[in-house]
Amino acid sequence: MAAMNDHTIDMDRLFARAKGVIPGGVSSPVRAFGSVGGTPVFVAEAKGAHVFDVNGRDYVDLVCSWGPALLGHAHPQVVEAVQRAAAKGLSFGAPTSAEVELAELIRSRVPVAEQVRFVSTGTEATMTALRLARGATGRDKIVKFAGLYHGHSDALLAAAGSGLATQGLPGSAGVTRAAAGDTIVVDYNDVDALERVFAEAGDEIACVIVEAVPCNMGVVPPADGFNAAIRRITEQHGALMIVDEVLTGFRVGPGGWLGIEQGYTPDLVTFGKVVGGGMPLAALGGRAEIMQLLAPVGPVYQAGTLSGNPLATAAGIATLQLADADVYAHVDRISAELQGLVDDALTSAGVPHVVQHASNLFSVFFRDEPVRNYADAQAQDTAAFGRFFHSMLAQGVALPPSAFEAWFVSLAHDDHAVSRIADALPAAARAAATK
């Protein structure tokens, strides 16, 4: 690295300053590098496949804002759409034709989303989906799977109780036992456990919520027929199935995971990340008869001052219009190349690992057995990941700063970006191998 001069910003000092005014120095915990150690990169700018830190140093980015940047950062047509919208006003608190257009675009790609309600974050989308499921069924309990993430609403921050518990425990300080107690936490990919929970409490369960493909403990594809089994069991017991596509929607393919893994139809589906094109926008959609239970037509209350914001809908529309079959083919190809390169580098260095993927989303677990659930994901060498991560970062490649995250590529990741990553991998793999 170049010697520091008067104009260089010392990121350690900036991080210290940040920690003085912002808890942990960050607006969302994983950004703090807590699980890999060190000082996070303070980003000043991003363009295409690259992010630039406050000193102008460039990194090939495999975070892509945790998913939204499917087209690459600051895609000119998306930026132009937002600028055009901004010139016409930042927020109206009134309906817009852009909301209608974006809802129709979503429905054309994900037919189960017969109707769509816009919100600002994935957290709101899943929280609202739960309330809707409870309103529709008149039941209190919900089922989620261990290690799957659906945002930070209280009911979804529940941890597994012991044994066959049909009561979850608070997964965070500040979540009441009452809020967590209506959440049942089941091991992922375990149909028998789900059957047992429904046998015991089926008539109290409003819904099962599941990530279309779990990506928030690393990428753990559903076992063959697992999602279909959730559908069958929920239907038998009069409960709803909510598929959370906040991360996978419009990223793994034009219709999300539901467009790839056919054969079952959920009642509700949630979107975020790509659907907002990098702006704060998320959505829930589903069968019209259920969606019609939302206020103002139905009794389930939900609202938002900035919901359907005109800048966010402009970014979402531009992104979905540009995200055609060629975009997904490109992202799939780059992803497959990177998976092969990472696998080769770690194999050459003798590092136990397994690369798992679902379409173009992939992650690397530092253990040699396949990962099927959260317990498996936790049984990996996170210290090896930390060494790997820091070597990549020092060589100008920004990976997600945790072993429990998917890696993201975009339309802007070209052969040049791939070769920069390829060049960095051998040393990073050796670092991972060196205790």
Ligand X SMILES: *Cc1c(COP(=O)(O)O)cnc(C)c1O
- Site residues, ligand X (CB under 6 A): 121-123, 126, 149-151, 211, 216, 244, 246-247, 272, 282
What minimum distance in Å lies between the beta carbon of 126 and ligand X?
A: 6
The C-alpha atoms of residue 308 and residue 93 are separated, in whole angstroms, by 9
What minimum distance in Å lies between the beta carbon of 274 and ligand X?
A: 11
Select which of 59, 149, 188, 328 is catalytic: 149
Q: Based on CB atoms, which residue is closest to ligand X, 286 or 431?
A: 286
In the block, which residue shows the tokens 């509700």?
268
Annotate 338-376 with DSSP letters as a single string: HHHHHHHHHHHTT---EEEEETTEEEEESSSS---SHHH
Select which of 141, 188, 267, 273 is catalytic: 273
Q: Based on CB atoms, which residue is closest to ligand X, 149 or 389?
A: 149
Integer CA distances (angstroms), 138 to 24, 128, 206, in order: 40, 15, 7
Task: Name which of 208, 124, 142 is nearest 180 in CA terms.
Answer: 142
What minimum distance in Å lies between the beta carbon of 279 and ligand X?
A: 11
* Whether 47 is catalytic: no
* Whether 414 is catalytic: no
Residues 186/180, Cβ–Cβ less than 8 Å = no
* Whether 273 is catalytic: yes
What minimum distance in Å lies between the beta carbon of 378 and ligand X?
A: 18
The C-alpha atoms of residue 176 and residue 156 are separated, in whole angstroms, by 12
The C-alpha atoms of residue 258 and residue 244 are separated, in whole angstroms, by 10
The C-alpha atoms of residue 15 and residue 20 are separated, in whole angstroms, by 9
User: Considering Cα of 77, then 79, then 81, then 84, what sign does the dihedral take?
Assistant: negative
Q: Based on CB atoms, which residue is closest to ligand X, 126 or 335?
A: 126
What minimum distance in Å lies between the beta carbon of 377 and ligand X?
A: 15
Q: Based on CB atoms, which residue is closest to ligand X, 115 or 216?
A: 216
Find residue 362's DSSP bridge partners: 357, 407
The C-alpha atoms of residue 109 and residue 355 are separated, in whole angstroms, by 29
Q: Based on CB atoms, which residue is closest to ligand X, 219 or 424?
A: 219
The CB-nearest residue to ligand X is 122
Q: Based on CB atoms, which residue is closest to ligand X, 209 or 331?
A: 209
Select which of 244, 267, 376, 381 is catalytic: 244
Q: Based on CB atoms, which residue is closest to ligand X, 221 or 384?
A: 221
Residues 143/205, Cβ–Cβ less than 8 Å = yes
Rg (CA), the chain: 22
What minimum distance in Å lies between the beta carbon of 406 and ligand X?
A: 9
The C-alpha atoms of residue 283 and residue 100 are separated, in whole angstroms, by 13
DSSP SS3 for 136: helix
What minimum distance in Å lies between the beta carbon of 339 and ligand X?
A: 20
Q: Which positions are catalytic?
A: 149, 244, 273
